[in-house]
């Protein structure tokens, strides 16, 4: 156990050296790193969590009812289209009621035909793992009197909501990244919640506005033949709706219910300034297919108003003066510079599949974060000092070896966190402090075993060799059981619990390295140099 091949010695020392080099940038300012630090050397710094540098903590809840309403409304349109196919099937009472879409077929002789057409709309999602059929989004029920109903299946709704959460996380990530937030943390919490942490963010209101807006953009033709007064009184032609206008306050427009285009046709959106008035605007560019549709719409409707709608509110309704064939356009609406930038971010990032509600919100000031760092530093310093003093008092020279291994352990922990860009939180600091206490446990096991062997009459070298051998299994078993618990904490926990678990897992791994490899290397070097006849324990 005391013999080391040259390549093993090189590997151990190289690991420690690389960790030191990786760790150095954490002691330098950002300006120094940019101006003086060589670009070919690692230049990353440990990412501080929300509780250490301040920022915004937002916990969002997916609005399940909003999603269900949207999905059932879309299903209603699919049903209408299916029954309009030739030969048409007459129906009545089509609508969304009590979380279901229902209708009644008029001709009893066509019940079976209607059921065949509508049965295809249950929307199979994925095959069952056990091979017991497929999971469908909807269940389809029909009664003898021609009443037919679509309702969400439990498995189908669960799968759909899981996809909604995944899509929402991706949209939120794009929005926050384009805002320029530093190292945001966006992750799933439970089945229908999303946690957003933006360390260093100083404007929580703007962040909430950017994240929480659905940003569903559509383009509609305006019907000027219906007045706003008639529209508000419900006097609307079939297939048209009244939408309020952002520009005109209470005044809105009657538009075609079916959009001519959607935000999915956009490929880019940027804030800009109108040349004539210097007013902030948003310029957009369409995809190839979107450009063709836009050209066709503007060619066929010269002279009409074209409403640009965001989340059921008209933000601009320009007149089509001539065909627009370049596949680009502008959105004006008395924007501020920040408002134009925010709208451009929303359009580039895409729309959320469902509304989000803020379930929990916290804002941590940078002053509180600085206090947390100071408290953590003091705790770590005091804990380290007491551990070092105890090991020196209990084991003398070998205590120095253990303390040297402890310092190497700290270098490895923070070096790994720097390379992996793991976020360091206040509970994470607690995990580091706990690791310092656990790190010397392995040395205690080894040293006590050496003492026992020396009392049994073995020579110094033999006692040391057997002490390392027989303590090895105990050290591995103890650390593996602790590692299992830490991994479970990481998988099952959230927020602060995960921060603690991450540093604890890293600390366990580095502790095993220093105890099994580094401490043994130091002791072996001492034995070869001193040739002891007695172990000073």
Are the CB atoms for 414 and 23 separated by under 8 Å? Answer: yes
The model's pLDDT over 266-306, given as tens digits with 9 standing for 90+, comes to 777 888 888 777 888 888 888 777 788 888 888 888 888 88
Q: Please list the residues that pair with 252 across neighbouring strands.
A: 244
Rounded Cα–Cα distance for residues 498 and 488 (Å): 10
Query: Residue 367 — pLDDT band, cuts 50, 70, 90?
Result: low
Whole-number pLDDT of residue 131 = 44
Q: If you count them, how many residues does the chain have? A: 537
Whole-number pLDDT of residue 87 = 87
Report H helices in 277-425: 288-300, 337-349, 366-395, 397-420
Cα distances from 265 to residues 130, 163, 269, 283, 329, in angstroms, run 40, 22, 11, 14, 12
Rounded Cα–Cα distance for residues 401 and 475 (Å): 17
Which of 136, 138, 215 is CA-nearest to residue 175? 215
Rank 369-373, 414-418, 421-425 by mean pLDDT and report only the highest. Answer: 414-418
Question: Mean per-residue pLDDT for 32-45?
Answer: 83
Question: Mean per-residue pLDDT for 3-8?
Answer: 82
Query: Residue 413 — pLDDT band, cuts 50, 70, 90?
Result: very high
What is the DSSP secondary-structure string of 187-222? Answer: EEETTTEEEEEEET---HHHHHHHHH----EEEEEB
Are the CB atoms for 174 and 350 separated by under 8 Å? Answer: yes
Is the pLDDT at 15 greater than 70? The verdict is: yes
The model's pLDDT over 181-219, given as tens digits with 9 standing for 90+, comes to 556 778 888 888 888 888 777 677 778 878 877 777 788
Which of 11, 19, 44 is CA-nearest to residue 409? 19
Rounded Cα–Cα distance for residues 51 and 209 (Å): 23
Whole-number pLDDT of residue 376 = 73
CB-CB neighbours of 368 under 10 Å: 14
Rounded Cα–Cα distance for residues 320 and 222 (Å): 11
Out of 45-54, 305-314, 353-362, which region has the weakest mean confidence (pLDDT)?
A: 45-54
The model's pLDDT over 491-512, given as tens digits with 9 standing for 90+, comes to 877 667 877 888 889 999 998 8
Whole-number pLDDT of residue 20 = 92
Is the Cα torsion angle 27, 30, 35, 39 positive or negative in sign? Answer: positive
Helix and strand numbers (H, E) in the chain are 16, 21
Q: What is the 3-state secondary structure (H, E, C) of 483-505?
A: HHHHHHHHHHCCCHHHHHHHHHH
Is the Cα torsion angle 85, 91, 93, 97 positive or negative in sign? Answer: negative
Query: What share of the chain in percent tops pLDDT 90?
Result: 7
Query: Residue 461 — pLDDT band, cuts 50, 70, 90?
Result: confident
Query: Residue 416 — pLDDT band, cuts 50, 70, 90?
Result: very high
Rounded Cα–Cα distance for residues 284 and 220 (Å): 16
Q: Please list the residues that pair with 316 across neighbouring strands.
A: 308
Q: Where is pLDDT greater, at 133 or 449?
A: 449
Is the pLDDT at 82 greater than 70? The verdict is: yes
Rounded Cα–Cα distance for residues 253 and 234 (Å): 13
The model's pLDDT over 206-256, given as tens digits with 9 standing for 90+, comes to 788 788 777 777 888 888 887 767 777 777 777 788 888 765 555 778 888
Question: Mean per-residue pLDDT for 360-367?
Answer: 73
Identify the burial level of 399 via C-beta atoms within 10 angstroms of its C-beta, where 0-12 means exposed, 13-18 middle and 19 or more buried. buried
Tell me what the pLDDT averaged over the chain comes to: 82
Rounded Cα–Cα distance for residues 76 and 85 (Å): 15
Whole-number pLDDT of residue 129 = 42
Is the pLDDT at 360 greater than 90? The verdict is: no
Is the pLDDT at 415 greater than 70? The verdict is: yes
Whole-number pLDDT of residue 366 = 61
Whole-number pLDDT of residue 183 = 64
Ranges of beta strands (E only) in 15-85 are: 47-48, 55-62
Indicate the Cα dihedral angle 334, 339, 343, 348, nearest 10°.
Answer: 130
Whole-number pLDDT of residue 330 = 78
Rounded Cα–Cα distance for residues 149 and 353 (Å): 24
């Amino acid at each position: 156990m005391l013999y080391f091949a040259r390549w093993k010695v090189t590997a151990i020392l190289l690991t420690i050296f690389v960790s030191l080099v990786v760790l150095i940038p954490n002691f330098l300012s950002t300006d120094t790193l940019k101006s003086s630090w060589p670009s070919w050397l690692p230049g990353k710094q440990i990412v501080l969590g929300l509780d250490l540098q301040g920022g915004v903590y937002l916990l969002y809840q997916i609005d399940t009812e909003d999603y269900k309403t949207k999905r059932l409304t879309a299903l209603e349109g699919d049903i209408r289209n299916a029954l309009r196919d030739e030969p048409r099937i007459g129906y009545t009472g089509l609508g969304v009621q009590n979380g279901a879409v229902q209708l009644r077929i008029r001709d009893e002789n066509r019940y079976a035909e209607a059921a065949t057409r509508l049965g295809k709309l249950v929307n199979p999602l994925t095959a069952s793992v056990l091979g017991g059929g497929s999971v469908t989004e909807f269940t389809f029920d029909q009664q003898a009197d021609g009443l037919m109903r679509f309702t969400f299946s439990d498995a189908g709704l669960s799968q759909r909501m899981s996809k909604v959460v995944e899509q929402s996380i991706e949209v939120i990530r794009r929005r926050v990244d384009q805002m320029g937030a530093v190292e945001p943390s966006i992750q799933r919490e439970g089945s229908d919640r999303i946690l957003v942490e933006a360390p260093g963010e100083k404007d929580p209101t703007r962040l909430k506005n950017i994240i929480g807006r659905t940003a569903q953009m559509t383009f509609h033709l305006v019907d000027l033949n219906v007045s706003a007064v008639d529209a508000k009184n419900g006097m609307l032609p079939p297939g048209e709706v009244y939408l309020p206008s952002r520009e005109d306050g209470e005044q809105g427009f009657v538009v075609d219910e079916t959009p001519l285009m959607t935000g999915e046709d956009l490929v880019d959106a940027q804030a800009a300034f109108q040349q004539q008035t210097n007013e902030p605007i948003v310029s957009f560019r369409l995809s190839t297919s979107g450009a063709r549709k836009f050209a066709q719409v503007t060619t066929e409707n010269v002279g009409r108003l074209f409403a640009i709608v965001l989340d059921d509110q008209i933000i601009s309704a320009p007149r089509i003066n001539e065909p627009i064939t370049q596949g680009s356009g502008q959105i004006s609406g008395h924007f501020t510079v920040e408002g134009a930038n925010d709208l451009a971010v929303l359009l580039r990032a895409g729309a959320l599949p469902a509304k989000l509600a803020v379930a929990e919100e916290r804002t941590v000031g940078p002053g509180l974060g600085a206090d947390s760092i100071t408290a953590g530093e003091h705790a770590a310093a005091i804990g380290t000092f007491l551990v070092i003093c105890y090991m020196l008092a209990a084991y003398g020279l070998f205590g120095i070896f253990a303390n040297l291994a402890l310092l190497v352990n700290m270098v490895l922990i923070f070096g790994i966190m720097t390379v992996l860009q793991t976020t360091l939180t206040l509970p994470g600091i607690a995990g580091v402090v706990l690791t310092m206490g656990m790190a010397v446990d392995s040395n205690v096991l080894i040293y006590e075993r050496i003492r026992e062997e020396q009392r049994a009459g073995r020579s110094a070298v033999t006692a040391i060799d057997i002490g390392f051998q027989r303590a090895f299994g105990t050290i591995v078993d103890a650390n593996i059981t602790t590692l299992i618990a830490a991994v479970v904490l990481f998988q099952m926990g959230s927020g602060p619990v995960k921060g603690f678990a991450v540093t604890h897992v890293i600390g366990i791994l580095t502790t095993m390295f220093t105890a099994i490899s580094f401490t043994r290397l130091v002791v072996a070097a001492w034995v070869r140099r001193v040739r002891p006849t007695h172990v000073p324990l």
